[in-house]
Structures are given as structure tokens and as C-alpha cells.
Amino acid sequence: MSAGRSRPPSIETTSLLEEAPPSYRSTDDVSSASSSPVEDISQPPPPINAFSTTELAWMLAGLWSGVLLGAFDGTVVATLLTPIGSEFNASNQASYIGTSYLLSVCCFTPLYGRLADILGRKGAMLLALTLFGTGTILCGAAPSMNTLIAARAIAGMGGGGVMTVSSIAVTDLIPLQQRGLYQGVANVLYGVGAGMGGPVGGYINDKFGWRVAFYVQAPFFIFAIIVVATKVNIKLSDQVESQSLSDKIRRIDFVGSLTLVGSVGCMLLGFSFKTTEEIPWGSPMVSGMFIASGIFTVSFILCQKYWAPYPVMPLRLISQRTPLAVSLANLFASMSAFSMLYNAPLASR
């Protein structure tokens, strides 16, 4: 066997960021570790999860229905900003509807990676769907703009988890060679949901009012919760299963999450005070928010680099060229997309 032999075709279900198991090491790696026995790599390791085509279809239906709803909900809200602001006579606060949701998504999305190990894939997905659905229903019943903003924050706590856990679960279910295809299908569903949200939300608002646009999503949330609860049964690796609950909880980076919330939240509030409330840049409220954001940002970086044993955002991911380029591309694309989604409807009226 040559030293440059590539990995054998297998049903790969482990994270690409983790150290490769011994069965995937090249002969150079094996020879360098003379104390470790050379293992047979002629046969691929057995899959942790093996399901029939029907079982897999049901699980993907439950997982991807959350992705579809998340995309649909985002564009529905964007088209409802004008009628919501008019009803509550608070059009100047309409941008906070999007800000509160996106802030929650930003801060809670990293936590679901750990929660998926603590609660399991099913438990984490059910938690995300419950928070997302509850927040969406509360939006329809909101009696004031402040209540609606808070409800969108609750929805955001689950919205980020729906996307994250569905990707994690697909990684557990689908072999490495086929993940690109399945991720493409998920992206298509996301695009379909985002494309439907605007026209469907506008039609519902014109016929029945903006509140119905939130209530109409409830049956789909119920369907997703039932399917996930009854069909999604993904076994975790023995390494994760053998950990105690206390060990799993210690892997959650609470300090990093709090400093991340403070960093992003204060920065967004500073910009919102300036643009929405028309407070001058030199105001203590605006400058204070930016100073606080800077302090939280420095604290977050130091926490991730020196203190957190399991950082919520490992700095090595963004210190490499390719992950950094992908992250920046996503940042600028998201800034462009959401600025158009949430500001164009307001400017057109």
C-alpha cells in the first residue's frame, strides 16, 4: 500500500474538523507512531445509523420542513413591516422586528451544536421548532410593537437551531460522498420558502390581515414537530453517548456565548439608535453602545483563545484562508439581502 493512498470509500458520518480515526491514517502516519498497531483499512467502518429509504424520507421531511418554514417566515415578516408599523403607529420601530430576530439567531445558533449532543438530534430539533413556533404564534397575537419585537426574539432562538440541527442531522444520516447533493436539496427548499414568503404574505395581508400570516404557519409547525418526534431516531457516537450529563453541559461555552451576545447586541443597538431613533453619533447612548460592543468583542476573543476549553467559535476556523473567505462572503451577502428585504418594503410606501 502506497503512502499516498487516499481514504477508502465509506459511509463517513464524522465531523471533518475532528482528528481522523486511526483507520483513516496513511502509512506514513502509522509508521511514525511505532507504538500503535497498524489497523486494517481494507474495509470501511460500519455506519452508526442505518435506515430504510422510507425512514430516511420521513426524517428528512421533518427536518427540512423546518428549513422551509424558516425561510418562509423570514420573507413573510419583511413584507408585513408596513402594515404592522401602521397598525401600531410605530413605523420607526419596524426595523427592530428584523434586528431582534437576527440577533437571537446570531447568538443562539452556535449553542445548538452542543445542545445536539446533550439533548440528541431529536431533542435539539424539537426545542428549536417549539421556540420557533411559539414565537411565531406570539407574533400574531402581539398587542403592541414591543411585544411583537420580543416575540420575534423568541422565534429567533429557535430559528437558528432549526437550520443548524437539520444540517447536523443530515451529516449523521448521509454518507460523505452524497452530502453535497442533499445539502443542495435543502438549499432548494430554502429558496422555495424564501421565494414564497413575499407573495403569499402580501396576499394574506390584503385578504385577511397581517396576523393571519403568522397563524397560518402553525399547522406546518405541528406537522414538523410530530414527524421529528416520531420518526427522527438518530443514534449518537459511543464517545458522545458515554459522556455524563455534567460533562456535556461543561462543553457549553456560556461565557463565550454571553460575550458574543453583548458584542453583537450592543453594536446593533448603537446603529439602530442612530438610524431609527435619529440620535446623533456623539450621543452618550450611541457612543456608549459602541464602546461596550468593543469591550465585549475583546472579551469574547480572549475567552475563545485562552479560557474556553470548548469555544463557541474556535478562532482557528476564521484564521484560515478558506473559512475566512467563506465567512466574509456570507457576511456581505447577508448584509445585502437583509437590507433589501427589510428596508425596500418600507421605502416603497
CATH number assigned to the domain comprising residue 206: 1.20.1250.20
Which segment of 100-114, 159-173, 232-246, 282-296 scores lowest on mean pLDDT?
232-246
- Using one digit for the tens of pLDDT, what is the confidence trace for 69-80? 888 988 888 888
Residue 136 has pLDDT above 80, yes or no: yes
Mean pLDDT over each residue of the chain, to the nearest integer:
80
Residue 59 falls inside a structural domain: yes
Indicate whether 191 and 264 sit together in one domain. Answer: no
Residue 10 falls inside a structural domain: no
Residue 121 CA: distances (Å) to CA of 84, 167, 223: 36, 10, 17
Q: Do the beta carbons of residue 341 and residue 74 sit within 8 Å?
A: yes
Q: Do the beta carbons of residue 173 and residue 234 sit within 8 Å?
A: yes
Residue 292 has pLDDT above 80, yes or no: yes
Q: Would you place residue 42 in the very low, low, confident or very high pLDDT band (cuts 50, 70, 90)? A: very low
Give residue 347's pLDDT.
57
Residue 157 falls inside a structural domain: yes
Please state the domain count of the chain: 2
Residue 132 has pLDDT above 50, yes or no: yes
Q: Would you place residue 345 in the very low, low, confident or very high pLDDT band (cuts 50, 70, 90)? A: low
Give residue 5's pLDDT.
46
* Separation of alpha carbons 174 and 270, rounded Å: 43
Query: What's the helix, strand, coil split of the chain in %, to 5?
Result: 75, 0, 25
Indicate whether 157 and 305 sit together in one domain. Answer: no
Who wins on pLDDT, 345 or 109? 109
Residue 140 CA: distances (Å) to CA of 92, 206, 256, 342: 20, 15, 33, 18
Single out the residue of 247, 243, 253, 302 nearest to residue 111, CA to CA. 253
Q: Do the beta carbons of residue 67 and residue 186 sit within 8 Å?
A: yes
Residue 1 falls inside a structural domain: no
Residue 119 has pLDDT above 80, yes or no: yes
Indicate whether 160 and 261 sit together in one domain. Answer: no
Residue 349 falls inside a structural domain: no
* Separation of alpha carbons 244 and 13, rounded Å: 22
Range of the domain at 218: 49-236
Residue 185 falls inside a structural domain: yes
Give residue 342's pLDDT.
67
Tell me how far apart the terminal alpha carbons of the chain are, to the nearest angstrom.
Answer: 69
Indicate whether 186 and 301 sit together in one domain. Answer: no
Mean pLDDT of 337-345: 70
Residue 267 has pLDDT above 60, yes or no: yes
Sign of torsion, CA 127 147 84 336? negative
Which segment of 119-123, 274-278, 344-348 scores lowest on mean pLDDT?
344-348
Give residue 312's pLDDT.
81
Indicate whether 117 and 194 sit together in one domain. Answer: yes
Residue 150 has pLDDT above 90, yes or no: yes
Residue 62 has pLDDT above 50, yes or no: yes
Give residue 343's pLDDT.
67
Indicate whether 164 and 294 sit together in one domain. Answer: no
* Separation of alpha carbons 290 and 128, rounded Å: 31
* Separation of alpha carbons 85 and 90, rounded Å: 5
Residue 3 has pLDDT above 90, yes or no: no
Residue 85 falls inside a structural domain: yes
